[in-house]
């Protein structure tokens, strides 16, 4: 007999040990390979970081071309935006106090006539927010600004008239700074331009689709830049509609002749074998005369819409924005510098 057959346990144990040592050696070799790869990557990253820290950046033509292209693209976008703003701003035209009052009176008359034709109701003694100048002229310094604001308010009223079926309950105009008012004012924009704003507050009663039309027309107006700051909406009727309608109401048929009233219990049924009580015979109704037309059938009640037809009251805070280009030589010198000589 051989040694293997006589020592089966030692032979199996040795085989298992041999396989285990081989497997352990494989995993050890794989781990060492991964460690070497990670160490090499780390050393490469450290060397690259060291080179970046020690290298001084220099201008390259490719980077310079990209920078110039980005500056050109930005300048084109700014120029296009400024042109769009300029197209949506009414120009300031010099005028006199008498000419402004005449234009105001003419505009009020035209707006009132067009509003009446379009079923647009305005407040009593409505004067487009310029009631103060109905009897007295403005100051010379505020005449041009008031004339421009008058044209902008005329555009707002034309939007309401175009929508039609709108009730203008309230109309308030904040005084301009040229009039001594605290509202509005000027803010410095990009490129030294001045942004002026005037505030209007309108209270309207209309249907919801009419309000959407008004807001859309104002936000997308092509002649004047309007900014809608706040909109508050409330239902005109605060109570919800009733769930049931009483019989006999308009559009609801009443009970049939001889039918019991709503809520009346049905008559008791007599016991079997009990003679029914005798009832007085009702006089027969006279029949229609020969040749007379037949009576029309009772009209059934029509369905009424619960939602979608109600009116809403909306309060809109609207700003009229105007952008003025800076005048030549009006730029302020930078801090610590001197103004350039002309």
- pLDDT tens column, 67-93: 899 999 999 998 888 888 888 888 888
Map residue 117 onto helix, strand or coil. helix
Residue 213 pLDDT grade (very low, low, confident, very high; cuts 50, 70, 90): very high
Neighbours of 325 (CB within 10 A): 11
Q: Would you state the structure tokens that stand for residue 38, as one six-digit string? A: 């990670």
Q: What is the mean pLDDT of residues 262-287?
A: 53
Average pLDDT of the chain? 78
**CA distances from residue 301 to 2, 234, 295 in whole angstroms, order as listed:** 114, 31, 18
Residue 334 is predicted with a pLDDT of 47
Q: Determine what percent of the chain is predicted with pLDDT higher than 70.
A: 66
- pLDDT tens column, 227-238: 999 999 998 877
CATH of 89-238+311-324 given 1.10.1050.10, 2.60.40.10, 3.30.70.60, 3.30.450.20: 3.30.70.60
| Listed range (30-44, 157-171, 249-263, 311-325) with the worst mean pLDDT | 249-263
Which tops the pLDDT comparison, 186 or 281? 186
Alpha-carbon span 112 to 161, nearest angstrom:
10
Which tops the pLDDT comparison, 303 or 77? 77
Residue 333 is predicted with a pLDDT of 47
Supply the pTM of this predicted model. 0.59
Residue 255 is predicted with a pLDDT of 55
Exposure string of 137-163, with b = 16+ CB inside 10 Å and e = fewer, is ebeeebbbbbbbbbbbbbbbbbbbbeb
Which tops the pLDDT comparison, 7 or 276? 7
Question: Quick one: CA torsion of 22, 24, 30, 36, rounded to 10 degrees?
Answer: -120
- pLDDT tens column, 26-55: 777 777 777 788 888 888 888 888 887 877
């Amino acid at each position: 007999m051989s040694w293997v057959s006589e020592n089966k346990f030692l032979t199996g144990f040795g085989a298992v040990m041999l396989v285990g040592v081989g497997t352990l050696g494989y995993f050890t070799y794989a781990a060492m390979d991964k460690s070497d790869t990670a160490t090499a990557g780390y050393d490469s990253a450290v060397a690259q970081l060291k080179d970046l820290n020690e290298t001084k950046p220099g201008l390259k033509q490719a980077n310079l071309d990209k920078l110039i292209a980005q500056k050109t693209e930005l300048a084109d976008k700014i120029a296009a935006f400024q042109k769009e703003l300029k197209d949506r701003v009414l120009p300031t035209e010099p005028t006199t106090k008498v000419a402004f009052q005449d234009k105001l009176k003419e505009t009020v008359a035209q707006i009132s006539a067009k509003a009446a034709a379009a079923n647009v109701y305005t407040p009593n003694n409505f004067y487009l927010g310029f009631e103060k100048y109905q009897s007295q002229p403005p100051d010379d310094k505020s005449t041009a600004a008031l004339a421009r604001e008058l044209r902008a308010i005329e555009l707002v009223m034309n939007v309401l008239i175009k929508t039609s079926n709108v009730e203008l309950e309230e109309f308030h105009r904040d005084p301009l700074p040229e009039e001594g008012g605290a509202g509005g004012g000027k803010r410095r924009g990009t490129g030294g331009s001045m942004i002026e704003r005037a505030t209007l507050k309108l209270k309207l009663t209309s249907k919801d689709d009419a309000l959407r039309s008004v807001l859309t027309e104002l936000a997308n107006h092509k002649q004047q830049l309007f900014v809608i700051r706040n909109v508050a909406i409330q239902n005109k009727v605060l109570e919800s509609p009733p769930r049931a309608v009483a019989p006999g109401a308009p559009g609801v048929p009443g009970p049939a002749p001889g039918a019991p009233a709503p809520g009346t219990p049905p008559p008791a049924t007599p016991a079997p074998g009990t003679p029914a009580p005798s009832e007085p015979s009702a006089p027969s109704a006279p029949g229609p005369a020969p040749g007379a037309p037949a009576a029309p059938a009772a009209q059934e009640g029509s369905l009424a819409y619960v939602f979608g037809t109600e009116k809403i009251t909306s309060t809109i805070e609207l700003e009229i924005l105007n952008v003025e280009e800076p005048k030549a030589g009006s730029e302020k010198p930078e801090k610590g510098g001197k103004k350039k000589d002309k």
